[in-house]
Amino acid sequence: MTTTTPIERLRGLRAVGELAAAHHRIPALLAELLDEAEPADRDALLSRAGRLLAGLDPDEVLHHHPATQVVTVAITGQSTVAGLVDPLTAELARHGLLLRPLIGDHGGWLRDLTDPGGQLLLERPDLSLCLLDAETVFAEVPSPWRVEELAEAADRVLERITWLAAEHERIAPGLLVLNTLPLLRRHTGQLVDHASRARLGAVWREFNARLLRLTERHRSLVVLDLDPLTAATGPVEDARLACYAQVRFTAPVLAGYAREVGHLTRSLTGLTRKCLVLDLDNTLWDGVLGEDGPDGISAADTLRGEAFGTFQRTVRQLAAQGVLLAVSSKNDLEPVLETLHSHPDLVLREPDFARVHADWLPKDGHLAAIAQELGIGADSLVFADDSPGERAQVRFGLPEVAVLPLDGEPALHVERLLADGWFDVLRLTDEDRARPEQYRLEGERHRLREHSGSHADFLHQLGVSVRLGPPEPHEYPRLVQLTQRTNQFNLTGLRLQPGDPAAAAEDPGRLLLAIRAADRFGSNGLVGALLGRHTPDGLLLENVWLSCRVLTRGIEQAALAALLTESRAAGLPAVHARFTPTAKNHRAELFYPELGFTETARTEDGVLFRHGLEFTPEPPLHVHVTLDLGWPTDAWAR
């Protein structure tokens, strides 16, 4: 057990010049810092850690850890914004990301973010943060002012911001982050009559509402709502620092803002967390099942019980938006399942959990198993437990897991759960919403597999059907997401960008097919895709993707067999394909040869294959395939 605090260890590393070399350990150090600090001290401590880390030379970190993701962030606004650098450095470091900040001039936000030759945009920031405050509007009203004049000023400012959003989208590659403007007592109090104050309040909120609505039109715009944030942090500004130093946000507000931006950045870099793993005793219900028995625990009807019920409803709210749930509990499995099944107080039931691990083994093992069984990384898990010992064990044993510090006060569980936006995404897709159901079905398939003799028996009982056809336009976002998330069965490493599916669908020389699968348990949805191009010597398969969720069921073989058969029927001379090895797709190396393709060349880009279509492979017996090319077959046999 170490006796030094994480801050002291960071300082020690810096003193001996090893901070850059130890960069991979920083997320774990910061997690420890946050878990062990008093809640009231967390932000200040994190900001101090950020100051230490902000002194690091990004190039030196990259020298030691070349794979580190560097995030270039333009920071500008109405006021002095340099105070954001420390907390933002720390928040990004929590996610293993390295901040390269570009600081604009205070008051110069409009120029900073719309001048393509300016200092900020020239660096092509991944993210542009524009911190606005009430001064953005009040700087435009005369002295003395009336509400009507303020309303006109608000209109002008909104017009400018609308133009900024469009212009930034046009010339800058990154995301623009704006915020609602907090209205302060020192503004409302300037009006002595309540009628005018009410009008001011309405005008102000209409302004903020229109600002928030800009995100409906601009996909690369995010507007952070500061109201809920400042309601939790306390004062928005220190009047003296605002007056003398143009600092118009206090450190706690900047800390909260930085936290939200940190999670936003994490989701942009593909690091979104997917599964919430929950302890049971004193986390999901009041009491200890093994000691108090099922009658001694509660999640309703008592003062403390109600608090746990509220927590469970919040967890269910997250699950409804695609967050997977799992249980990790030190208990015997039997009573846990019985309680989840029949205890009258519970909001969450066994089917709500993709996995339930209840035994007496260390919890890092539970979490590793949950990740493995769900086919996701440990870095996709968030673990909530009221016991500091269990949390430390997981932090130490499986440092990729994000750990939520709950404690003995259940009324604070919801706040702790939501303090970090671990599951934040830019936009939710239908597939996200359906994910928990998909994984629950996966659990049923898993049980069928366990009770089937051979794998062939299992597949036979599973009754897989595959439908191959052109994607519908509403499926394009899901298709893009699939190609970006699929690593194991991605035969060339290619990933589609948002405009690609529409472009491929419109091009008569190209073939884009979605692979949809279902079985006796229900639909798997869109699980794969196939991209091809017509050439004089037949069809060239540019890539095939299949979600790892449905691998080893014969789906990919069935899809290809059908396509080859159809190509032969259409009189094509051949089908060509390419396999490019990546860090994760070695399992798919033999995919083409096993379907009768022969190797024709090896290049830097990988292995080229050709199938002469003299005879085509039979699809696996247990799979029923339907193929709709959406394209008259004689069109390709030119």
Partner 1 sequence: MPGLDSLDGFLRLVRTELDLELTDQDAETELAALPGWDSMNLLRLVTLLESGSGRRLPVPTVLAARNLREIYAVLEEAA
Q: Which is nearer to partner 1, 202 or 245 (CB)?
A: 245
**Site residues (CB under 8 A) for partner 1, limited to 612-631:** none
Q: Which is nearer to partner 1, 114 or 250 (CB)?
A: 250
Q: Which is nearer to partner 1, 247 or 562 (CB)?
A: 247
Size of the site for partner 1 (CB under 8 A): 14
C-alpha count within 13 angstroms, C-beta hemisphere, residue 158? 20
Query: Token digits for 572?
Result: 């094509």
| 92 close to 265: Cβ distance less than 8 angstroms | yes
- Closest contact distance (angstroms) between CB of 138 and partner 1 is 21
The stretch among 121-129, 240-248, 507-515, 615-623 that binds partner 1 (CB under 8 A) is 240-248
Of the residues 170, 240, 602, 638, which one makes contact with partner 1 according to CB under 8 A:
240
Q: Which is nearer to partner 1, 52 or 482 (CB)?
A: 52
Please identify which residue in the block is written with the tokens 């995100």: 215
Q: Which is nearer to partner 1, 81 or 607 (CB)?
A: 81
Q: Which is nearer to partner 1, 61 or 570 (CB)?
A: 61
> In 3-state terms, the chain is what percent helix, strand and coil (to 5)?
50, 20, 30
Sequence-ordered alpha helix ranges (H) in 20-78: 26-36, 42-54, 58-64
Phi, psi of 99 (to 5 degrees): -85, 130
- Closest contact distance (angstroms) between CB of 83 and partner 1 is 6
Q: How far is CA 290 from CA 235, 359, 364, 569, 603, in A?
A: 45, 11, 21, 65, 62
| 93 close to 39: Cβ distance less than 8 angstroms | no
**Site residues (CB under 8 A) for partner 1, limited to 245-284:** 245, 247, 251
- Closest contact distance (angstroms) between CB of 185 and partner 1 is 19
Question: Which are the contacts of 201, defined by CB distance < 8 A and separation ≥ 6?
Answer: 183, 188
Of the residues 9, 11, 304, 584, which one makes contact with partner 1 according to CB under 8 A:
11
**Site residues (CB under 8 A) for partner 1, limited to 58-97:** 82-83
Q: Report d(CA 638, CA 635) in Å as an integer.
A: 6
Q: Which is nearer to partner 1, 79 or 543 (CB)?
A: 79
Q: Which is nearer to partner 1, 86 or 566 (CB)?
A: 86
Q: Report d(CA 46, CA 58) in Å as an integer.
A: 19
- Closest contact distance (angstroms) between CB of 43 and partner 1 is 12
- Closest contact distance (angstroms) between CB of 51 and partner 1 is 6
Query: Token digits for 198?
Result: 């009410």
Q: How far is CA 170 from CA 31, 167, 218, 368, 603, in A?
A: 38, 5, 10, 44, 38
Query: Token digits for 53?
Result: 């880390």
Q: Report d(CA 288, CA 281) in Å as an integer.
A: 5
- Closest contact distance (angstroms) between CB of 4 and partner 1 is 13
Q: Which is nearer to partner 1, 40 or 195 (CB)?
A: 40
Q: Interface mask (CB under 8 A) for partner 1, residues 219-238, using x and -?
A: -------------------x
Query: Token digits for 371?
Result: 């990740």
- Closest contact distance (angstroms) between CB of 25 and partner 1 is 19
Of the residues 70, 158, 166, 241, which one makes contact with partner 1 according to CB under 8 A:
241
- Closest contact distance (angstroms) between CB of 7 and partner 1 is 9
C-alpha count within 13 angstroms, C-beta hemisphere, residue 254? 27
- Closest contact distance (angstroms) between CB of 48 and partner 1 is 7
- Closest contact distance (angstroms) between CB of 370 and partner 1 is 39
- Closest contact distance (angstroms) between CB of 244 and partner 1 is 5
Q: Interface mask (CB under 8 A) for partner 1, residues 19-58, using x and -?
A: -----------------------------x--xx--x---
Q: Report d(CA 609, CA 599) in Å as an integer.
A: 4
**Residue 117 class from Cβ within 10 Å (0-12 exposed, 13-18 middle, 19+ buried)?**
exposed
- Closest contact distance (angstroms) between CB of 12 and partner 1 is 12
**Site residues (CB under 8 A) for partner 1, limited to 134-173:** none
Q: Which is nearer to partner 1, 14 or 210 (CB)?
A: 14
Q: Which is nearer to partner 1, 244 or 360 (CB)?
A: 244
Beta strands of 248-400 (E only): which ranges? 275-278, 324-330, 355-359, 381-385
Query: Token digits for 248?
Result: 């118009």
The stretch among 116-124, 243-251, 434-442, 628-636 that binds partner 1 (CB under 8 A) is 243-251
Q: Could you tell me if residue 545 is left (phi over 0), alpha (psi between -120 and 50 degrees) or otherwise beta? A: beta
**Can you tell me whether residue 485 is helix, strand or coil?**
helix
Element (H, E) at 227: helix 226-233
- Closest contact distance (angstroms) between CB of 82 and partner 1 is 5
Q: Per CB under 8 A, does 494 bind partner 1?
A: no
Sequence-ordered alpha helix ranges (H) in 269-302: 289-292
Question: Which are the contacts of 6, defined by CB distance < 8 A and separation ≥ 6?
Answer: 29, 30, 32, 33, 36, 49
The stretch among 190-198, 206-214, 239-247, 335-343 that binds partner 1 (CB under 8 A) is 239-247
Residue 447: Cβ within 10 Å count: 10
CA 620-621-624 angle, 5° bins: 85
Tell me which amino acid residue 601 is.
A
Q: Which is nearer to partner 1, 158 or 241 (CB)?
A: 241
- Closest contact distance (angstroms) between CB of 240 and partner 1 is 4
DSSP structural state of residue 286: B
Q: Which is nearer to partner 1, 14 or 25 (CB)?
A: 14
- Closest contact distance (angstroms) between CB of 391 and partner 1 is 28
Q: Which is nearer to partner 1, 238 or 589 (CB)?
A: 238
Q: Which is nearer to partner 1, 185 or 240 (CB)?
A: 240
Q: Which is nearer to partner 1, 10 or 466 (CB)?
A: 10
C-alpha count within 13 angstroms, C-beta hemisphere, residue 630? 15
- Closest contact distance (angstroms) between CB of 55 and partner 1 is 7
Q: Which residues bind partner 1 (CB under 8 A)?
A: 11, 48, 51-52, 55, 82-83, 238, 240-241, 244-245, 247, 251
